[in-house]
Amino acid sequence: MLNYSFMQNALFVSVFISILCPCIGIFLVLRRYSMIGDTLSHASLAGITIGLLCNQSPILGAFVFTSICGALIEFLRTYFKKYTDLILTIVLSLSVGIAITIISSGKLHANADSFLFGSVLTVTEFDRITVFVLSMISVCTLIFLYNQMLYIAYDEEAAKIAGVKVKLINYVFSILVASAISVSIRIVGVLVLSSMIALPVATALQLGKGFKLTLVFSIVFSVIDILSGLFISYYLNVAPGGFTALISVAVLVLVILVRRIAFQIKVQAV
Amino acid sequence: MFFTIQTNELYFSYTGLPPYLLNGIDLEIKDGAYVSILGENGCGKSTLMKLILGFLKPSKGTIVTKAKQIGYVPQKNDFSNSNFPITVYEMLNAYRKLLKIKNKEVISNVLQKVGMSSFQDSLMGTLSGGQSQKIFIARALMGNPDLLILDEPSTGVDIGSQKEIYHFLTSVNKKNGITIVSVEHNLDAAISNSTLIYHLSGGKGHLCTPEKYTAEFLKNEQLGRIR
């Protein structure tokens, strides 16, 4: 299987996705912003279609457009303080509207369907380089801003008092989310992308550990979900995105069950 | 004696327009004072605190805060992040790094001060109301603040822990000279521990000693209720 160059490319991209997505996802989930991941992953479809329309890389197109949408969400938050969920509807309508209009115009030079469900066959050498560069920049930024982002997620007021530039970092974080989404589109697909961001974190949260351990377990579960999704979907000849989402849910349910059984055994022992 | 906080003709409403919630507040809090802010629900106590902290901007007037380092203890009920997966050590260590304090021992020092040394590996979500309040006080003490601002420190805290917390606050105020501003709903604690009480009512404020407050304001309120 790994003799095929398309699988080597897919494996390379999957490893980066499985590290980057939970690193971003943990902050999204803990700030109760999981739905932003969902909105931005749908927004990326507009970026893909714009990229394809302009004969440019769809991943770069997705990155640029999703970053703009992320920044727009952050900007609109000031105006819709009491209806933050409305912001997501506005951005979702705008981006899906653009995507559908471009796709239905028939002016696209390539097929955008593979981006909806994810495909291992479409990962190109240029995608590999783009994914590598975006992932490295994102991980370095995350390491650099780790404490600031942790505190904004945990206690925004305390972060402000400690001198953290909360607004600026929120904008940077929007770009990081856009980056994680655009590197994941090829393999996972737009439709289930948000599950790659949220589900490994949801699974790790079941273990009841501190922040660092929760982050480490999120990455471990993400690697398990994405790599097993990639390999099994190859043998079953199905889209990797959908199957990875199924595995993510299965792992989450398994961890919840094991935890419950372990708790029952503990109670009975006492 | 110098002042830590001074407000001049401070007006505030959430729309920026009249009617104002705070209506021309002139308040001067001197260095080393322990001031409790009292008043009915919705009178603007927490708003005034947020203005002092810089979370809100005045509609009119000015606020001058001369504190070099502010320590802030949030209200426990406002803090809904109890399921956040973070240990006491992680929470304090990240804050230490934000304050750019190089010495890691500051964490064990502040935990020792509030008597919570044995809890550094505990998850924040597993602590009781009193325990987490002590941890937030420990966090506020990092970086040696000259001003400590607390939002209803006894809310959701058992009586035993309340005593410990107020004893500790009085002690850092007297021994270390830290200026304390505490938004209070606990009248007894405010009267017993503060050096001054700031009573907010109808958008206006009045600063007085606890003794005077007991004699004047409480008497008036009781008379009002009887009538």
- Candidate from A147, A153, A161 with C-beta closest to B97: A147
Nearest to A156 by CA among A19, A11, A21, A27: A27
What does the pLDDT look like over B29-70, one tens digit per residue? 999 999 999 998 889 999 999 999 999 999 999 999 998 899
Contact A30 B74 (CB under 8 A): no
B123 touches chain A (CB under 8 A): yes
Nearest to A176 by CA among A201, A146, A200, A204: A146
Query: Which residues is B10 bridged to in the sheet?
Result: B25
Amino acid identity for residue A240 in this structure: P
Q: What is the ipTM of this complex?
A: 0.85
The DSSP H or E segment spanning B91 is: helix B88-98
- 196-215 of B, contacting A, C-beta below 8 A: none
Rounded CA-CA distance A11/A106 in Å is: 32
Rounded CA-CA distance B3/B15 in Å is: 30
pLDDT more than 70, % of chain B: 93
Nearest to A110 by CA among A92, A130, A131, A124: A124
Give SS3 for B38.
strand
Residue B25 contacts residue B207 (beta carbons within 8 Å): no
- 127-166 of B, contacting A, C-beta below 8 A: 139
Judging contacts by C-beta atoms under 8 Å, the chain B residues touching residue A153 are 84
Instruction: List helix spans (H) across A146-239.
Output: 146-154, 156-161, 166-188, 193-205, 211-236
What does the pLDDT look like over B101-157, one tens digit per residue? 999 999 999 999 899 999 999 999 999 888 998 999 999 999 899 999 999 888 878
Question: A208: how many CB neighbours lie within 10 A of its CB?
Answer: 14
Positions in chain A whose pLDDT score sits under 70: 1, 120
- Candidate from A154, A159, A161 with C-beta closest to B86: A154
Contact A158 B84 (CB under 8 A): no
Judging contacts by C-beta atoms under 8 Å, the chain B residues touching residue A30 are 84-85
pLDDT of residue A57: 85
Contact A161 B70 (CB under 8 A): yes
A88 touches chain B (CB under 8 A): no
The average confidence (pLDDT) of chain B is 89
pLDDT of residue B78: 54
Question: A89: how many CB neighbours lie within 10 A of its CB?
Answer: 11
Contact A210 B87 (CB under 8 A): yes
pLDDT band per the 50, 70, 90 thresholds, residue B227: very low
Task: Encode A100-112 in three state secondary structure.
Answer: HHHHHHCCCCCCC
pLDDT band per the 50, 70, 90 thresholds, residue B226: very low
Rounded CA-CA distance A49/A190 in Å is: 12
